[in-house]
Amino acid sequence: MAPKASIRDVAAAAGVSVTTVSHVLNNKSGTRVSAQTRERVETVARQLGYAANGLARGLRLQRSYALGLLGDVVAATGQAGRLVLGAQETASARGWVLLLTTGRDPEVERREIRALARHRVDGVLYATMDHRVVRVPDELRPMPVVLLNARSADATLPSVVPDERGGAATAVRELLAHGHRRIGFVTTVDDVPAARGRLLGYREALWAAGVPYRPELVRADVGDPAGGHRAARALLDGADRPTALFCFTDAMAMGVYRAAADLGLRVPQELSVVGCDNQEVIADGLFPALTSVALPYHGMGAWAVETMVELLDRPKGARRRVARHVALPCPLVRRASVAAAAH
């Protein structure tokens, strides 16, 4: 049997230093290795059958190369699945393993944190399905933590959330571009960051287009189809009804469709509708299909892992000084629920 290739063999064949080979094959961030050199090293390593010894690397650097993802996410749901996939794909590409666990109440959460500690994870991604401000459990404080779809009240931890304000503005600009000027907002009664951000984006887009903000065109209710129905009826029953509605969620948009049907209004010919969160099972299932603002779950998962790996590559004393807060763009997914305003 031929002897196994060593890292020195790969370096010699690729014409680079052992350090460069190590940086490339261990996906070390912050190094100045060109794409061409990286490709050459990876090709030579494959040709020679060289594989980095992950166990030895972990023992040498005192790392497990495992990350935990803890939160109230359920991977079987569409949005959570994209969030987990973004984190998992990025972790795998960087040579890390992602351990997923769910804690829906404080006691379960504490138990899951202890389980992650037993597995000696190097850091934890603390995730929520709904964008909100969280209090990170005390048990997590000794570990490196990145917040995913959440922010901490004291802003001391790196975090990534959707750009709620920008996403709402994008939705309203789409309606404005189709000639709508009486644009209503069907929103939730919950005082959460998403509601505040989307209302701000709604108002800013109107202001930028020279359209006065009219508080009577905003109606809040419970954030489900029934709440959307009640809010839409309150807006559409009047004589000076809006010609378009922006909805806090696709679930509320379902209720808007029902309210339009109650009143004999055709979507989109007589009422244009835009949702938010792009729940495909809803948006594609409605007739006509619902135009909606997508939340960047996959991108947020990827960003959280990249940030955690960057954090772990820093000296321990410098980690607490890294507290980047990012809001990722929310793109519009056009379907068939928006048309030119009927004057």
pLDDT tens by residue, 6-45: 788 888 998 988 888 877 877 666 677 888 888 898 888 8
Q: How confident is the model at residue 179 (pLDDT cuts 50, 70, 90)?
A: very high
Do residues 153 and 179 both lie within one domain?
no
Do residues 184 and 283 both lie within one domain?
yes
pLDDT in tens, 114-165: 888 888 899 999 998 889 999 888 888 888 999 999 998 888 899 999 999 9
Residue 100 pLDDT > 60: yes
Do residues 259 and 185 both lie within one domain?
yes
CA gap 93, 300 in Å, rounded: 16
Domain containing 210 equals 164-295
pLDDT in tens, 245-277: 999 999 999 999 999 999 999 999 999 999 999
CA gap 235, 339 in Å, rounded: 19
Q: Please choose, from the candidates 120, 78, 80, the residue with its C-alpha nearest in 3D space to the C-alpha of residue 280.
A: 78
Do residues 151 and 253 both lie within one domain?
no
CATH value at residue 213: 3.40.50.2300
Mean pLDDT over 213-225 rounds to 97
Do residues 75 and 150 both lie within one domain?
yes
CA gap 207, 200 in Å, rounded: 10
pLDDT in tens, 43-72: 888 888 776 554 445 434 567 889 999 987
The share of the chain scoring above pLDDT 90, in percent, equals 59
Residue 48 domain flag: no
Longest distance between any two alpha carbons in the chain, whole Å: 86
Residue 241 domain flag: yes
Do residues 172 and 287 both lie within one domain?
yes
Positive/negative CA dihedral, 52, 53, 56, 57: positive
- Per the CB < 8 A criterion, the answer to whether 141 and 152 are in contact is no
Q: How many domains does the chain have?
A: 2
- Per the CB < 8 A criterion, the answer to whether 150 and 314 are in contact is no
Residue 34 domain flag: no
CA gap 307, 158 in Å, rounded: 8
- Per the CB < 8 A criterion, the answer to whether 69 and 100 are in contact is yes
More confident residue, 80 or 157: 157
Do residues 152 and 214 both lie within one domain?
no
Residue 286 domain flag: yes
Mean pLDDT of the chain: 88
Do residues 177 and 140 both lie within one domain?
no
Residue 15 domain flag: no
Do residues 227 and 277 both lie within one domain?
yes
Do residues 171 and 127 both lie within one domain?
no
Mean pLDDT over 201-217 rounds to 97
Q: Which tokens belong to 183?
A: 């644009």
